[in-house]
A and B are shown apart, each in its own frame.
Chain A
Amino acid sequence: MNGGTFRREFEVTGGDFYNAGRVSTEIKEILRQIGIAAPKIRRLAIAAYEAEMNMVMYARSGKVLLQVTPEVVRLDVNDVGPGIENIELAMQEGYSTASEEMRAMGFGAGMGLPNIKKNADRFEIRSEVGKGTTLEIEVRL
């Protein structure tokens, strides 16, 4: 075995805009130390950031589990929150349920989920209304 898997869990608090972006910055630092190629770090950083921001904007709380092996980087994102009613609709570029106030702040341009999908080699989403949303994001090395 060649070092096995690196694993680290991060917590995200809904509504905490002050710390928004910290988790994705930390993830990026770890990937840099592990020596992941720059273009893949960029894709993962963007995906992690969008996922983090979605939780800050909509969820009560959430977790990101980062796992790295020599073959793949995987992010498991789990939140406790309102969930998504129509996933198909949410995956369309430009679709957003963000309030006008949030949009005025520059958030919720409806790019989050499609952007994550675009940057991932594998992307899965499950959601239960009233409970929360789960994302699986993978970038192969």
Chain B
Amino acid sequence: MTRNGGSIRIDEARCTGDMACMRVCPTEAIRVRGGKARLLESRCIDCGECIRVCRPRAVSPVTNSFAELSRFDYRAALVSPVIYGQFGPAASPERVLAALEKAGFDCAVDSTQMCEAVSAAVAHYLRTSGGPRPLISCFCPTVLRLIEVRYPELIELVIPVESPEEILAREVRKAKARELALPEDRIGIIYLTPCPAKMLDIIGQAGRRRSNVNGAIAISDIYRTVSSLLPIARGSGSGRAQISAVGLSWATLGGQTAFLPPEHRLEVAGLRNVERILTDIEMGKLRDVEYVELHTCPDGCVSGSLLVENPYVARGRILEIMGRLGPQPRERELAEFCEKGEYLADRNLSAQAMGALDLDVGRAISKIRRLEELLQSLPNINCGACGAPSCSAFAEDVVREEAHLNDCVFVALSQLRAEQSHVVDVLREAKG
């Protein structure tokens, strides 16, 4: 495994080789060889589509378990806004936080106010920086991977703003270390994640950055514990900061762009739609747009693959909670946050060489010519029997010497026929 291991694991014992994951993968990162699915790490963008479609449940996200957290003296859970849409209508945010504390976290930290602050930071950065437009949002790690792998030309357009959970982790660690007189590394900051991609963002990809978050637990993994504790969690959780309505909207769409005028922003969700927008930006369209908020999940984070509740129901609950919140005048606080400038991220995105057939352009040219020749001899019906999702992916594998042309049943069959007729000819000649 490269890049410190991906966020997705395939259990060979469970894998039946049914190719569902191979067919759904948007970046053709899965091959089925010897009846087992294999992940090509360098192409994977951690979108989690394979997890969703795997019936034998052989594909699973790499996340931490609650037991792993015992190595810390103090455990803080960072709570993303999506979690508030996961439980029944009686589960107020305050109650969910209290239930998390009963579940074994020493404190559960709401992140909605920080989300709102980062929305303000996005607007502040756009106001105070020059350069090409539109800038691209950076809060969906799958979008970042997609840009690295498929649209490296756009890396310079990714807005250098840090994610709310990262800033919050930094603040919570400092504050708790001081308050409890503990060394900072004894404090475990755990993000409750709606998707495997956030997990990978946290455990760190090679070279991207060091995270302040120590680990991530899938929301689906704590779902049962939290829902069973909700009825008795009533009454606790006093002295909490108010939930922010703008911050809550980070669970769906438009949270990041809350402080931007509508004519300067676009909110786009779903992988295909995101690809379309990135292509348009690449071609130099959309120059009048200041900022694009991109999510690869179809309805934003509320449809993450590690969530339990139906995303539409969950979004409805989030909207309902937002509607109940009163006016929240926080202009001065937000302005102070922005002026400090501590929201800037030192994210280190790098163009991945994955796309190139060879590091040498001359050799790559011969390989792409070979690839085109190969495609002529393939049936081009994308049957998948060779274990690659399409004839073009297969031809590329052959050129990269990762597959053999005979793996194609059509090629093998025509070779067999040729040999057969050769044998017949030889026999005929022998008969004289």
* Interface residues in A1-39 (C-beta closer than 8 Å to B): 2-6, 8, 21, 24-25, 28, 30, 32-36, 38-39
Query: Is A42 an interface residue, CB under 8 A from the partner?
Result: yes
Contact in complex: B365, A69 (CB < 8 Å): yes
Q: Which residues of A contact B366 (CB under 8 A)?
A: 2-4
Contact B363 A115 (CB under 8 A): no
In the complex, which range does the number of interface residues on chain A fall in? 20 to 34
Q: Is the CB of A35 within 8 A of B153?
A: no
Number of B interface residues, CB 8 Å?
30
- Residues in B with CB closer than 8 Å to A64 are none
Residues from chain A with a CB closer than 8 A to the CB of B365 are: 2-6, 34, 68-70
* A70 and B362 form a contact (CB under 8 A): yes
Q: Verify A35–B282 contact, CB threshold 8 A.
A: no
Given contacts A33-B368, A34-B361, contact A50 B279 (CB under 8 A): no
- Provide the bound-state CA to CA distance between A84 and B244, in Å: 58
A129 within 8 A of B: no
Verify if B325 is at the interface (C-beta below 8 Å from A).
Answer: no
Q: How far is the CA of A55 from the CA of B409 in the complex (A)?
A: 42
Taking CB atoms and an 8 Å cut-off, the chain A residues in 45-97 that contact chain B are 45-46, 49-50, 68-70
Q: CA A35 – CA B359 in complex, angstroms? A: 7
Report whether A38 and B362 are in contact in the complex, using a CB–CB cutoff of 8 Å: no
Given contacts A4-B366, A6-B368, contact A45 B356 (CB under 8 A): no
B404 in the interface, Cβ–Cβ < 8 Å? no
Question: B369 near A6 (CB under 8 angstroms)?
Answer: yes
Show the binding face of A for B, using Cβ within 8 Å.
Answer: 2-6, 8, 21, 24-25, 28, 30, 32-36, 38-39, 41-42, 45-46, 49-50, 68-70, 106, 115, 141
Q: Which residues of B contact A (CB under 8 A)?
A: 150, 152-153, 155, 279-280, 282-285, 351, 353, 355-369, 371-372, 396
> Can you name 17 A-B pairs with beta carbons within 8 Å?
A2-B360, A2-B362, A3-B362, A5-B365, A6-B369, A24-B283, A33-B355, A33-B396, A35-B357, A35-B359, A38-B152, A38-B153, A39-B153, A45-B282, A50-B284, A70-B362, A106-B285
